[in-house]
Structure formats: C-alpha cells, structure tokens
Amino acid sequence: MVTKRKSVTELPKQYDPKRVEADVIGLWGRDHTYELVKKRKSQGKKFYFLDGPPFPSSDTPHIGTSWNKVIKDTVIRYKRSRGFNVRDQPGYDCHGLPIELAIEEKFCVKSKKEIQSFGLERFVSECRTFAETNAAAMTLAFEDLGVWMDWNKPYMTHHDYYIECDWWGLKQAWSKGLFDHGQRVVHWCPRCETVLSDYEVVLAYTVLRDASIYVKFPLASNPKEYILIWTTTPWTLPSNVAVMVNPNFEYVKVKARDEIYILAKERTAPVQAETGQAFQLLETFPGSKLEGLTYKSPLETLVPLQKNLENAHRVVLSSEYVTLSEGTGCVHTAPGHGEEDYEVGERNKLPVVMLVDDQGRFLPEAGKYAGKPIRDTNSEIIDDLKALGFLFHATEIDHRSPVCWRCKTPLIIRATKQWLIHIAQMKDQFVRQVNSTIWIPQWAGANQFKNWLQGLKDWVISRQRFWGTPLPVWTCNSCGKDRIIGSKQELTENAVSKVELPTLHRPWVDAVKLRCDCGGEMSRVEDIIDVWFESGGASLACLGYPANAAEAKFWWPADFIVEGRDQITAWFFGLLRHGIVTMGKCPYKTVLMHGFALDSQGREMHKSLGNFVTAHEVAEKYGRDAFRYYVLQTTLWEDLQFSWDAIRQYQGDLSTIWNTYVFASTYMSLDRFAPAKISINQLKRNLRAEDRWLLSRTNRVIREVTLLMDNYKIHEAVRKLKEFLVEDLSHTYVRYIRRRTWVETQSKDKLAAYATLYAALKAALCMLTPIIPFLTESIYQHMLRNAEPKHPETVHLLDWPKYEAKWISDSLEEEMRATQELLSSVAELRMAKGLKQRQPVPQILVSSDSTTVKNALRTYSALLREQANSRRLGLAPKRSLSELDDSKRFGKTKFADGELFLDLKLTKSELAEGLARDVVRRMQQMRKEMDLKVDSFVYAYLVAPSKNDAALLKSKHDYIAAEVRAKQLKITAGEIKIRFPYYTKRWQINGTTFEFGLCETSKLLQKGQDETASTTGPR
C-alpha cells in the first residue's frame, strides 16, 4: 500500500460561512468530535468551570445569554487546548416565580387561591414541563452557536438529587445554629403573595404618584400641642407606634393658627414655604430633650387597637435614621412597615403593629379600614384626619418605588415570620473570602462587590409559593418542635406511614408526616426555598453532593465562573453565601464579570420595544463565527451595543483571514509543500529579514495572547489576533512574498517563505480556534490536516502553540516599522509626482539621523528596493544633500525621521519595465476573468499601438511571458484582429490603446493546433 504524501492541500477560494458551518457541524456530528476531544483531555489537570444557570422562562435565549455562553465556550476550548481536563456541565435554574407566572397566564389563573382550585399537582407538573421544554429549546440554540458543553447532562435545579443538596445545605446551617425562623420586615408582593429578596427589590422600579401629608400628633399632656410629622404612606398610620427624632439636632416649638408644633429647627423654613403657614418661634432645645414625650394616635377613634397598645406613642431617639433632607425631623415610626423603624423599635422595645394581610388588604384589627386594599385607603385616611382636625397639610408627590420584577405590582414592606439564615454578623468572613478571590475586572470585586457586602443582612430564604424546593422543615403539631430533614432517605425512613414520592416537590412532599419525640405528629412548613439559595448551591449540587462526595473531593471548589454585571447582587453573592454557610469558604476561585447586551442606542433589548435580536438571526445572516468574533472582541466588562453594521464589518475581517489562508494554500498545495520535511531551523540560513520579522511577530503574539487568555482578557486577545492576521500577515507579509511564491523552482528561498508563513498561519489558527471554531476547523480540514503526519483528527485537538523566545527581536520589529514608514512615504511621493507604483525608478535616497532608519536600510535593503520599485535605495551621502535639495531631477518628501528623495529621470530600460509591468497586471487580470488555474499555461498575443511601444515590450518579452505563464507570446504593432478561441480585451495604458489575447494551451491542443512553445521557464 502506498501511503499518501503529507503536504498542504487546497482550501476553497471563497469564504462562505453557510457552507463552512454546515460542513463542520456535519463533521462534528459524524465523528463525535466533542466527545473525542473531551476524552483525549480527560487525563489533564482539573479545571472546574461552573455554569451560571439561566432561567428557562422562554424558549429563545436573549442575545446577552448567547454572548455569555460563547465566552464560556471560548474559555473551555482554550483550557482544553492547554491540556486541562475541563468540567463543562451546563445548568438551568428551573424553579421560581417567572415560571409560575407563565403557567398562571397560560391557564388564566389569577391568584394563589385559584392555583389551589386549579390543582396543585397539575400546576406543579405544568411548571416542570414548561421549564424542561424551554431548557431543551435553549440547549439547541446554544449548541447551534458551537458551544461545547455537556448538553446531554445539564444540571437542573428541580431534579431530586439537586433538591437533596439544598436540604443538606439547610441542615448544615441548622447544625451550625445559623438557621431558624423569626420576624423580619420584608418586601412583599401582594399579587404573588410572597416575600422578595433585597437583591430582587433593586431589579425594578416605577414612578408612583402618592400622597405627601403633614400630620399633627397631639401630645398626651396637652392636646393643643402637636408633634408635626410627614409621611408619603398614610396607610401605615394605623400601625404607628412612635416618633423618631435626632438627639443631635435642634428642635423648636412654634406657634401657628393658635396651635403649637414641635419640629426640627432647620425644617421650619421649608415647611412654611411648602404649607404656606407662618411660624412664630417660641422655644429652641436639643432633640434629646424630647425623648419619652408621649402623644395620642390621631386615628385611635377609628382603629381601636391603637388605644390598647403598651409602651407605644412616645418619642424615641435615632441619630442614624432622622435627617434634615425632607419632612419635619420628627419621623412617623411603624416597626411593622419599615426596616429602620423595626430596628429602632427593637432597641426601644416598641410593639410591632402590622395590620396588612398577604394580599395587601387591611386585617380585621384595622377597625374602620378592615378588608380594604391599603393603597386605595390613602385618600380615605387623609379625609378622616382632616375631619378629626389632625391634618396640617396635604399634597401629592412623585417618587420612585420598587415593584415586583416578575409582575410589576408595587411592593409593600411588612413584618412577617420567615425562615432565615443568620449571616449579618459574618461580614468580615465574607470580605476575607472576596479578598482571596480573583476578580476580572479587579474593581468589580474590590469596589462593587465589597460595597454590596457592606449591607449584609440575614438571608430570608422562605417563600410562600409552590414551584420550588420545599423547605425541609417539619413542625410538631403538639409541642411546636422543629425538625430539619437532610435527604430523601432521612425523610422516608422517618415518615409516619409509608409514602410514595414521585418527586420531592409540593404537594406530594406536603403529605409526609413525621413522628415527634413527644409523640405528636409533625407537618411540613408549607414554604419553599428562595431560588437564589438553590443556584447558590450549584457548585456542590451539580456534583451530586453529598451523595457523591468523591466527585466534590476531586473538583470542588470551582476554578472559574463568568456572568453579567447584574450577578454581583445575585449569583456571585448567592454562591458566596451558600459556600460560607455550608463549607466555610467561597466556592469559586476566579470570577469574570461581563456587561449587558443592549441595542445600538444603548437600550435594553425587549420584544415589546421591537429591538429584540437573537444570536440565531445574526448567525443566519452572517454566520456563527461572525457572531462569536463580534461579541468576543467587545470589552468584556463594558456593555455591548449591538449593531448590524459592526457585524458586517467583522464578517469582512473573517473573509480577509480566510483569503490569507487561501493564498498560502494555493501555492503551498501546488508545490506540495510538506512542512514536516523541512524545519525553520534547517532553513535558518535562507531566511530573509522579513521572514525573521514574521517569526518574531508570531512568537511575540503567541506570548502575548497566551498571557491574555490566561488572564481572561479575551477581547484583547481577539484584537491582537486580528491585528496579526490582517495587518502583519494579509497586508504585509503576504504582499512581500508574492514574487517568491511565483517562481517555478523549489528554491530554498521559496521554502523559507513557505515555512515562515506556515508557522505563522498554524499558530494563528490554533489561537483562533476557541474564538471561531467553525472557520478554523474548516481551514484545518481542507488545508492543514494532511500537511503533517502527526496532525490529529480535528483542529480542536491541536495543542496551544508555545512561543520560542529566541525568535523575538525588538530591533527587527522596530526596523520593520521604519521600513513601512519609508515605503508609505515613497508611495505618497509617487502619487504626488504622477508616477505609478509599477514604474521602476533609478534610485531613492534617504537622509536621516535615526539609527533605526539607518539599520532598516541595511536590514531590509532588498525588500525596500523591491517594494519601492527602485534600482537603488540607500542613505544619501551627507555632502550631496544640498545638491539633492536644489535638483529638479529629484522629487522629495519629509517623513517623521528624515527626508526622502526620488530620482525622476527614467531611462529607456526603466520605461520598458514600467510598461511591461502594466501589461502583466492586465494580463493577469484576464487570467482571473478566464478562471484559469494558477499553474495553467497560455498562448498570448499583444498588439501595441506603436512600433516604439512594441519595441519597448519586445525588450521585456521573456519577463512578460514568464509572469503570465505564456508558452508563446507574440508582440506586434498596429492592428491585428485576434481570433477566437482567444479571449481578447482592449486596454488603455498611458492614454493609448493596447489589445491583448489569451488562450489556454490545453484548448488549442485539443483542437490539434499545436503552436509549439517559444518560451519556457518559470510559471
């Protein structure tokens, strides 16, 4: 059997993303490429990537989520190419209110009560189906973008093993004495009838028009004297128990309309201005003197409860919560409806009055207002105060108010009994853990995250809903004792009677009763757990912990997580809390934070705004690689302002990159270039300066990009690679070596160019692989796979390139920059003098004091002469400078480091060469139009307009014939009509008309019209 020779093969000429990506997807499917790569890398050092699970609340991922997944895929692919054994399990956050709301909407269920009558079993099953269906659809969308994760086994927060880990976590907290229940003032959604977390409260706001009223609280000692308070929530007045003043401010007694008011001195002027009342100052005293002053509730006749409160209706002190920025400096205090009020209330042993039910209506104890929705009662309360003579002034105010981020109902604040984890006292431990975590960018951790931790509060984890992890707390119906269950086994073993649990969800789990030590029966507390506790436990739960402890021992903690900037207060925080509570440390080592994907005007993308674009649409139009390349070059932690124009531009880059490989593959495959047969080191003596320059650039770029990728500065790595491929390779090196690739013989000089270009292209392809996996795979399969015997089945098994420091040369690169500057000065000067680039000139002289320029003239001498198209190019002798300056023979120009002189006096030989080059360029254009292979031969006719031109061209006959690969070239003057089958064309050159005809030799040979070759030689 003959083994096929290994050499570079040919790449399709056109970059067609549709075809490229379809082929690669087919290949990956047939060869199980993902599984293959994963298996081959499974022996490396562990790298635990932890996926932040999206909510599967819709079947179409937001473009920001697709960006997020592409970043993750890039990191995973990079780490694999560095030899790591990467854990790449994706996840979905399947529980929670967004999904419950979608099901409520689907079945027109409007409240918690209606869910009960709809049937809890059916409701929860619908939630599960909804989540699983959407998760499956999202998986397809992510996979389609080339995201290589373990899509067959995503972790799903609603699976029993996951729920068991949540239970285990709470049991840990319980055993450490951190988990119990207590009264807390919480933000509450009266529509969803559940508590919301602090970090959910910051998610959505609306502007509400509310009452703004000044109310008179009559002193118990003198009903004609009042404490003047201000509030925007009249509905909390039935729950008032105290007034706060600041002990450090000055307060006054003032007289107005024969009544006496107490308020802060600094607030008298603004209050007079707002209410139109004139105050007459009676007395000034420090706020501390007001402590203990008692008053009567203005609503005590309408809300009888107010009459029977103990230890209430007195002035208490607070220097932290009473300010002079608004109101009167006397603050209405209702511990049942305000966190600060609650805190001050606890300190002063004030009663907690909370008169609002789960749906936001007044309880029966609210007297006159019982059963009424609280916000609707505001005007009634104002009218009542007015009728009772306790209203000082009423107006309205617009203010920003938090709403439920799922259903947009304005939130209320109320004291409720909740289950919570005590972490408020652990701030130092949290900050210590943040300090030992790597944050990218650094300021996200050092500033934003630490600032957020300053407000650390106890973690209220109970929710009063259905679709979630059930709270594993059973309470004795007789003695009230609580028991925390840590696993399914523990539950079934301790159940009063044998139970079949199809899943650990409500309502099935609600039916399980336990036996208490006292002999009584224990029932489950009906709450479910905050979804952020669930996702916070992902680092352990997805490993099957605690059942599968060996997995966790190997992988935990996570090496890397990456999510959007909104996760500072959410998932980054949730993971940290869970990790500290259960394991005593942060469950991740490195965090990368990215921005939001917005529209071109910087607005959020929403279906309702009509600016919603999906990654799928972008991929359909411009390709998956174009989408990936575009989002990955965006500065990671800044917002991405999506623009179709930008995408088009970036797709252009991909075409340029493709064309660079096409150029190399065309000539290398023609010459059957076999890189494994001859190394750069073997060709060392044949390397030209520009080859050594490219090797320096290549190795420098490898070094820089590796460092950037190791530090997750992916966008900088992408930009560096783009610059390398587009500027260094496509615009520079490829142009410089064109003539070397065009010679027929297998010279060492040509091989040196090939070997250099090959090394650069292969390294670049490797480094591009994590970013644009389709394009790189396609180039690899077509062009490189058979170039070397040891090449693996897929580009994704190539090892990341290693740089060789010996090739990196600062001086070569500096001198190349000087060379390029000289060449662009020459080009400008030629343009100014109307001299074509193709027209050779006798000499170019340079005057400069710069060592770099002088060295460049030596190092890149041959390159400079060729590219400047000058017979001579060198330093001008110092003594002749003034002569050059005056001479009409020279065109001159200044550049940054000196001056440049171009000899304009052309000899016959130079004119002939200029004309010949003009001819060659047009004939090559005709070869392209004829779609000839680069190595096919032609017969050629050339009709010049004059004998003089014909003579000039005849002197360049061999040159022209070689350049256009003509077996025979006839040059004549006058008018010859060239016949079929020649492809003919007329051209204007220097204002006169030439006629050329070309015919592929094989065409005439087939017709038996063998016109024997008169020229041979290089093609």
Pick the closer one to Zn ion by CB: 410 or 544.
410
The alpha helices in 723-809, defined as continuous H runs, are: 734-741, 748-768, 773-779
- What is the closest distance, in whole angstroms, from the C-beta atom of residue 411 to Zn ion in the complex? 8
- What is the closest distance, in whole angstroms, from the C-beta atom of residue 407 to Zn ion in the complex? 3
Pick the closer one to Zn ion by CB: 476 or 509.
476
- What is the closest distance, in whole angstroms, from the C-beta atom of residue 399 to Zn ion in the complex? 20
Pick the closer one to Zn ion by CB: 290 or 516.
516
Three-state secondary structure along 133-177?
Answer: HHHHHHHHHHHHCCCCCCCCCCEECCCHHHHHHHHHHHHHHHHCC
CA atoms of 750 and 691, how far apart (whole Å): 11
3-state class (DSSP) for residue 702: helix
Q: Which two three-digit tokens encode residue 672? A: 């059957």
CA atoms of 898 and 896, how far apart (whole Å): 6
Pick the closer one to Zn ion by CB: 404 or 592.
404
- What is the closest distance, in whole angstroms, from the C-beta atom of residue 237 to Zn ion in the complex? 25
- What is the closest distance, in whole angstroms, from the C-beta atom of residue 188 to Zn ion in the complex? 9
Helix axis angle for 851-859 and 861-868, nearest 10°, is 80
- What is the closest distance, in whole angstroms, from the C-beta atom of residue 481 to Zn ion in the complex? 5
- What is the closest distance, in whole angstroms, from the C-beta atom of residue 194 to Zn ion in the complex? 8
Bond into 98 cis (ω within 30): no
Residue pair 875/846 in contact by the 8 Å Cβ criterion? yes
Helix axis angle for 861-868 and 734-741, nearest 10°, is 90
What is the biggest distance separating any 2 CA atoms in the chain, rounded to whole angstroms?
A: 129
Pick the closer one to Zn ion by CB: 404 or 725.
404
3-state class (DSSP) for residue 466: coil
Residues 13-34 as b/e (b if ≥16 CB within 10 A, e otherwise) read: eebebeebbebbbebbeeeebb
| Interface residue list for Zn ion (CB under 5 A) | 189, 191-192, 404, 407, 409, 476, 478-479, 481, 516, 518, 520
- What is the closest distance, in whole angstroms, from the C-beta atom of residue 607 to Zn ion in the complex? 20
Pick the closer one to Zn ion by CB: 373 or 520.
520
- The backbone region for 745, taken as left when phi is positive above 0, alpha when psi lies in -120 to 50, beta otherwise, is beta
CB atoms within 10 A of CB 570: 20
- What is the closest distance, in whole angstroms, from the C-beta atom of residue 518 to Zn ion in the complex? 3
Pick the closer one to Zn ion by CB: 408 or 905.
408
Pick the closer one to Zn ion by CB: 359 or 655.
359
CB atoms within 10 A of CB 340: 16
Label the pairing between strands 473-476 and 482-484: antiparallel
- What is the closest distance, in whole angstroms, from the C-beta atom of residue 564 to Zn ion in the complex? 23
Pick the closer one to Zn ion by CB: 475 or 659.
475
- Among residues 449, 451, 427, which one has the least CA distance to residue 439? 449
Residue pair 916/924 in contact by the 8 Å Cβ criterion? no
End-to-end Cα separation, the chain, in angstroms: 34
What backbone torsions phi and psi does residue 195 show, to the nearest 5 degrees? Answer: -75, 150
Pick the closer one to Zn ion by CB: 189 or 835.
189
Pick the closer one to Zn ion by CB: 183 or 359.
359
**Cα separations in angstroms, 908 against 837, 841, 868:** 17, 11, 19
Pick the closer one to Zn ion by CB: 518 or 707.
518
- What is the closest distance, in whole angstroms, from the C-beta atom of residue 54 to Zn ion in the complex? 21
- What is the closest distance, in whole angstroms, from the C-beta atom of residue 464 to Zn ion in the complex? 12
β strands within 814-964, DSSP E: 841-848, 870-875, 890-895, 898-903, 938-944
Pick the closer one to Zn ion by CB: 275 or 409.
409
CA atoms of 131 and 55, how far apart (whole Å): 8
- What is the closest distance, in whole angstroms, from the C-beta atom of residue 369 to Zn ion in the complex? 23
CA atoms of 726 and 637, how far apart (whole Å): 25
DSSP at 990: T
Pick the closer one to Zn ion by CB: 476 or 942.
476
Pick the closer one to Zn ion by CB: 93 or 918.
93
How many Å is the Cα radius of gyration of the chain?
40
- What is the closest distance, in whole angstroms, from the C-beta atom of residue 596 to Zn ion in the complex? 23
Residues 155-164 as b/e (b if ≥16 CB within 10 A, e otherwise) read: bbbbeebbbb
- What is the closest distance, in whole angstroms, from the C-beta atom of residue 404 to Zn ion in the complex? 3
User: Tokens 């990955």 belong to which residue?
Assistant: 632
- Among residues 469, 533, 525, 472, which one has the least CA distance to residue 128? 469
- What is the closest distance, in whole angstroms, from the C-beta atom of residue 107 to Zn ion in the complex? 17
Query: What is the residue-wise DSSP string for 246-294?
Result: -TTSEEEEEEETTEEEEEEGGGHHHHHHHH-PPPEEEEEEEGGGGTT-B
Pick the closer one to Zn ion by CB: 173 or 189.
189
Residue pair 265/250 in contact by the 8 Å Cβ criterion? yes
